[in-house]
Amino acid sequence: MNKLFFPARSAWRAAILGAISLICSAGSWAQTPNDSPAKAATALIRQADFIVAVVNSEPITNRDVQVLRQRLASEAAARGGAQPDTNELNRLAVEQLINEKAQLQQARDAGIKIEDEAIEQAELNVAASNQLTREEMHKRLAQEGITVSAFRTQLRTQLTLTRLREREVEGRIRVSDVEVEQFLSEQLKAQAEQMPAQLNLAMILISVPEQSTASDVQALGERATDIARRARAGENFAELAKAFSQTTDKGANGGNMGLRPADRYPDLFLDATRSLNVGEVAAPVRSAAGFHILKVIERRQTTTLMVTQTRARHILLRPSAQMSQTQAVAKLTEVRKAVVSGKADFAALAREMSQDGSAQQGGDLGWANPGMFVPEFEQAMNRLRPGQLAEPLVSRFGVHLIEVTDRRNAPMSDQEQRTLARNALREKKLDEAYATWVEDIRGRAYVEMREPPQ
């Protein structure tokens, strides 16, 4: 049985949801409530509960530490690799709890309060992120011995920390236009190193028959050299190609081979033209086919960032009094089977069933850049290859049946590039500012460490 997960948009935001996730990952989802590992662990912890540390007169108990340690151990196991030892996990748990306690105290001093409506919405979002109804999530939490009241208390705690961090950290981040320009320049340079330039060459071929003697080859080479000289002197290259080229098309299109990625040309051609400017003609080069006279028609380097776009379509059913979420999932499961087997047409069913604005377009959502959809939808979509259908997905909007129809790399508009750059720089600064802020709060707190009872 899957555990709940709590997606975060960046490293610093991951910290915001930390304590919520510890509730749901303290142990595996139990098959039977009475045998829950989390309950057994909690009972053991209660037998040996004591104060581990005091933060500005507020205690952190051994029970708090052990619950968090269990979550940290689960996360480390999920990532794979070597497991930290128990002492290191305890140290990390204590330090995290000290930071959280100090921040909550600052939030109270600042008068930050969380409305009940915000708790309700957060609870719905967590359930949707895990493709569960709120009632199903409550049942899973109960299997872990976690009450709804305790869960909502943790939600309130984390939303309080979120408000504080947004006010104290996020609101102070500024990204200048100069930083944006520098970021784009660096990204374009990195992209240019990975993506070959576009190159258009024109060619005149003086072929060398297989049975040619040395004197024949010399004569043909001299002929090629003379043609190259005439082209360099200003004669029309296209006319020379039509008159002399011995390619299969007899120099049609003036010998123009078309704009293509540079790595699709033979290395011989690239070496001969590497140092040439547009419009210049290289000295003849010899291949097995003969002598090649090459002219650089166009050289184009990508000057815009590329983004992977996905085109998808979906059928959306919104749970209601007439159709529960479970019924919507079952209905779309049957639809998926019919489409996969070829018995039904996706677009026709979308026009008939889908309960959103894309229905008239057969569910088509158009070309989408990363980040345009809610995380749970985008994660499912990104796992699909063109032509694949996902299993029914629950999001905050309802139940979706998603099909990816195509995927492409496309240039970003100037506005999209600048937005991307600004967001990336902001996220980086957030991580750095958050780390500094945590250290500052920790440094100003009075912390007394307690020895365990003997």
pLDDT at 350 (0 to 100): 96
pLDDT at 15 (0 to 100): 46
Give me the long-range contacts of 175-184 (CB less than 8 A, separation at least 24).
175/422, 175/425, 175/426, 175/429, 179/425, 180/418, 180/421, 180/422, 180/425, 183/421, 183/424, 183/425, 184/305, 184/417, 184/418, 184/421
Task: Count Cα neighbours of 237 within 13 Å in the Cβ-side half-sphere.
Answer: 22
Q: Are 286 and 322 in contact (CB under 8 A)?
A: no
The two structure tokens encoding residue 77: 């196991």
- Residues 6 or more apart whose CB falls under 8 angstroms from that of 156 comprise 114, 119
Helices and strands, number each (H, E), in the chain: 16, 11
The alpha carbon of residue 107 and the mean position of all alpha carbons in its chain are separated, in whole angstroms, by: 32
Q: Are 52 and 61 in contact (CB under 8 A)?
A: yes
pLDDT at 194 (0 to 100): 65
pLDDT at 28 (0 to 100): 33
Measured N-to-C along each axis, helices 346-353 and 325-340 cross at an angle, to the nearest 10 degrees, of 150
Please identify every stretch of the chain with a pLDDT value under 50, giving residue numbers as ranges.
1-37, 40-47
Query: Is the Cα dihedral 88, 94, 99, 103 positive or negative?
Result: positive
pLDDT at 48 (0 to 100): 62
pLDDT at 452 (0 to 100): 82
Angle 83-86-89 (CA atoms, 0-180°, nearest 5)?
Answer: 75
Q: Are 300 and 198 in contact (CB under 8 A)?
A: yes
In angstroms, rounded to a whole number, what is the distance separating the alpha carbons of residues 312 and 366? 7
pLDDT at 374 (0 to 100): 85
